Structure 1
Amino acid sequence: MKFGLQLGYWGAQPPDGVGELVTAAEETGFDAVFAAESWGSDAFAPLAWWGSRTSRVRLGTSVAQMSARTPAATAMHALTLDHLSGGRAILGLGVSGPQVVEGWYGQPFAQPLRRTREYVDIVRQVFAREAPVTSDGDHYGLPYRGPDATGLGKPLKPIVHPLRADLPIWLGAEGPRNIAQTAEIADGWLAIYFAPRLAGMYDEWLDEGFARSGARRSRADFEIAASAQVVITDDPAAEIERMRWVSALYIGGMGAPELNFHAQVYRRMGYGREVDEISALFQAGRKAEAAAAVPDELITDTAIFGDEAHVRTRLREWADAGVTMMLISVSDADQMRRLQTLVDL
C-alpha cells in the first residue's frame, strides 16, 4: 500500500512549512502529493509551485471541482502540469455539492452523474489528441450550440501534444451510483470517510462498475486512495477530541440540510441517529455541543490514532479492504519522519 500526502485547501492564507513537507514526503518514500480546493485556493497552482521541489512523487488534485472549469480548461491544466512535472500528474475530479456549485460557481448541479460522464469523455478526448474535440452531450456541448450561439464555433485539438493519452483520472465519489460509475469510467477512486468494516458494501458498488460493458479498468489495475487522518501518537484521545470539531463541521455544515453527501456517508455506516443530532445542533449554531455529540467510534471508523504498533495493525485493515493508497494529512516534518517506518507496508 502506498502513501499520499494530502495538502488540502487553504484557510485564510497559505499554510506555513508546506514546501518542507512536500520535500520530506518525497524523501520519506511517499508515492504522491495531492492538493484540494473548495471556494478559496485552487488545486493546480500549489502542485506546480511546491511540486517544483520534487522529481519523483506524483502530483494529484483531490479534488478539482468540475463546475469550476469547463472540461477543456481542466484538461489544459492537467496536461500543462503533466509536462512541467515530466509525466507525474493525476487528475482527480469531483462534482462538489449544490451549495458550492450553484452558490459559488453559478452553475447547475442537476444530473451530476451524467455531467461527470460527459466531462470525463471530453477530457479524455483532449488527452488523446486523435481528432478535434466534440461533444453532443446535454451539459457540455462542443461546439457550443445554445440559443445565443454564433454558429462559428470550431472543433479544435490541443496545440500542446499531451505527454500521456492515458493520464490517470480519479474521481471523488461517495454514493453507490457514483462509485459504480467511477469504477466504470475512471482509473481510480478518491474515497472520503472510507471504513474498512464496510469493504463488502464498497466492493459490491465497485464490482457493478467493473462489470459494465466498456469498463476502463478491472480491480487489478484500479487505484483506491482513501483519505484518512493517520497520526502516530501516545495520546490518541487528544487527536479524537480534535477531530470531533472537524467531523461536526462536515456532518452539520458542509452541505445543505436537505442534501449533505458527507452526512449520507455516515448514515450508511449506521450513524443515522447521531448524524441527526449533530446536524440539528450545528445548524442551530450550537457548534460546541455538535462536536461533543460526535462519538469516538464515528471518528475511529475512518481514522487511525495510536502508537506505531496500533497504526501498523490498522493500516493493514485498510490494505486488506482493497485500499491501494492512504491519502493522509501530516502536520509537520517530524510526523512525516515518524511515518517513514510504515511506508513499505
Structure 2
Amino acid sequence: MKYSVLLPVVPARPEPAVMFANLVQWTAAERLWQGQSLVLDPHHLAQWLAGIGIRVPMGFGVSLMPMRSPYQAAFEARSVALATGHSVVAGFGPGPVSFQSALLGRPYARPLRAAREYATIVRALVSGEDAMVEGEYFSVAARLLPRPAPQVEVGLGVLRPKMAALAGEVADRAITWLLPAGYLAETLVPAMRGADRKLEQPVRTTAIVPLAVARPDRDVTALVQATCGNHLQAPHYQDALRKAGMAVSDQGDAQDAGRVVDAGAFLYGTVEQIHERLAEFGAAGVDEVVLNTIGVAQVHGPKAAAQDLLQILGSASGVSASDVGLT
C-alpha cells in the first residue's frame, strides 16, 4: 500500500502549497492530492507548481461534476499530466444535492446515471479515444487533440455500495473519504470487486484518511470538527457513516466527532499507533492511503500539519524538516 499527501489548506495564493508538494518530491509519498476548492482552482495550482519546477504526480479527489463539463474535465486533467510530466488521478463526484441545485438549477434525478456518463466520457477522452456518448445528462461526440501524455486515471468518489459498484464497473479508481477500514473491507471493496467490470485492469482503491499525531496541546474533538465538521452535517455523509456502523446524529456535534474517532474513521495517536491503524486499510484491500491533516492545519497551522506528515511518512530517506521548508 502506498501513501500520498492531501493538501490540507485552501490557499488564496499558490505559495502555501509548496511545502506539501515538497513532501511528495522528497519523501516516499506517491502523490499530492487536492480536494475541490472554491477559492483557487486545483488544476491551476498544479500548473503553477509545475511552472516553478515542482513537478509531482497529482490527484484530484474529488472534483464536483457540476463545476465543469466532462470535456473540460478531461482537458484539464490531461493538461496537468502534460505540465507535470507525471500521471494524474482525476476523481469526480456529483456533490451534495444543494450544490447541484445551486449550480444546475436542479439536482441530478439519477446521480448514479450522471456519474456513469461523466466518468465514461472523461475516461474515453483521456485515453485518446473518440467519446461518442448520447446520454441522459451528458452528450459528447468529440476527442482531445492527440498528444503523448502521462496516464490519466479516472476515479469516482465512493461513500456507499451503489457508487462502489459503479466504480467497479467503469472507473480506474474508487476514492473514499472519512470511512473506516472495516466498512471498506466488509462492504465497499466487495461491492467494487463484485461489479460487472467493463475495463481490462481491476479497479484500485484510494482511501483519504483524516488523522493527527497526538500531542499534549491538542484536542482531538476540535481536530475532528475542523477536519470534517461540515461533512458530519451533510445528509449523504451521515447516511454513509450510519451504514458503516456509526450512530451519528444530524448535528455533527462533539459526540459525533467522538464516534468518528472510536470507529477508526479519524486516526489519532502516536505515529506507531497511526501506522497500525493505517495497516488495516491495506488489509481491507486499499491500494493507496492519502494522509489528510486538514484539522491540524486549521487548528495549529500548516507547519504543524507538515510536521505530522513528515513524521508519519518517516525519515528513512534522510529528508529533514528544512528540506521541505519547515524551518
So what's the TM-score if we normalise by structure 1? 0.79
Confirm or deny: 8 A CA contact 1:34 1:47 kept in the other structure: no
Confirm or deny: 8 A CA contact 1:66 1:95 kept in the other structure: yes
Within 5 Å, which residues of 2 pair with 1:165-204?
Answer: 167-198=152-183, 199-204=185-190
Instruction: Note the C-alpha offset of 1:343.
Output: 8.4
Query: Is 1:35 aligned to 2:9, yes or no?
Result: no
Distance 1:99 1:297 in 2: 26
Amino acid at match of 1:305: Y
Distance 1:229 1:109 in 2: 29
Confirm or deny: 8 A CA contact 1:172 1:190 kept in the other structure: yes
Which position in structure 1 is the counterpart of 2:225? 244
Within 5 Å, which residues of 2 pair with 1:270-289?
Answer: 270-272=245-247, 274-276=248-250, 278=251
Which position in structure 2 is the counterpart of 1:127? 126
Which position in structure 2 is the counterpart of 1:152? none
Instruction: Note the C-alpha offset of 1:84.
Output: 1.0
Secondary structure at the residue paired with 1:134? strand
Confirm or deny: 8 A CA contact 1:187 1:216 kept in the other structure: no
Q: CA offsets per residue over residues 277-312 of structure 1, 9 Å max, x none?
A: x2xxxxxxxxxxx53332523224212211122122
Q: Aligned pairs, how many?
A: 305
Instruction: Note the C-alpha offset of 1:22.
Output: 1.1
Q: CA offsets per residue over residues 47-104 of structure 1, 9 Å max, x none?
A: 2223445666311111111111111111111111111111422111111121111113
Which position in structure 1 is the counterpart of 2:208? 227
Amino acid at match of 2:242: R
TM-aligned CA distance change 1:130 to 1:17, over 3 Å: closer
Instruction: Note the C-alpha offset of 1:33.
Output: 0.5
Within 5 Å, which residues of 2 pair with 1:1-345?
Answer: 1-7=1-7, 10=10, 13-14=12-13, 17-52=16-51, 57-106=56-105, 108-131=107-130, 133-142=131-140, 155-163=141-149, 167-198=152-183, 199-209=185-195, 212=196, 214-218=198-202, 222-235=203-216, 238-244=219-225, 246-252=227-233, 254=234, 260-272=235-247, 274-276=248-250, 278=251, 291-300=253-262, 301-330=264-293, 331-332=302-303, 333-341=306-314
Q: CA offsets per residue over residues 9-28 of structure 1, 9 Å max, x none?
A: 627x3486321221123211
TM-aligned CA distance change 1:92 to 1:162, over 3 Å: farther
What is the percent sequence identity of the aligned residues?
18
Q: CA offsets per residue over residues 304-335 of structure 1, 9 Å max, x none?
A: 21112212211211211112211123443322
Amino acid at match of 1:140: F
Secondary structure at the residue paired with 2:166? helix
Confirm or deny: 8 A CA contact 2:118 2:138 kept in the other structure: yes
TM-aligned CA distance change 1:343 to 1:310, over 3 Å: farther
Confirm or deny: 8 A CA contact 1:43 1:62 kept in the other structure: no
TM-aligned CA distance change 1:27 to 1:80, over 3 Å: same
Confirm or deny: 8 A CA contact 1:266 1:275 kept in the other structure: no
Secondary structure at the residue paired with 2:149? coil
Q: Which has the higher strand share?
A: 2
Distance 2:316 2:138 in 1: 41
Distance 1:99 1:15 in 2: 29
Confirm or deny: 8 A CA contact 1:25 1:336 kept in the other structure: no
Amino acid at match of 1:191: T
TM-aligned CA distance change 1:235 to 1:115, over 3 Å: same
TM-aligned CA distance change 1:193 to 1:48, over 3 Å: same
Larger Rg: 1
So what's the TM-score if we normalise by structure 2? 0.83
Distance 1:240 1:76 in 2: 40
Distance 1:108 1:135 in 2: 21
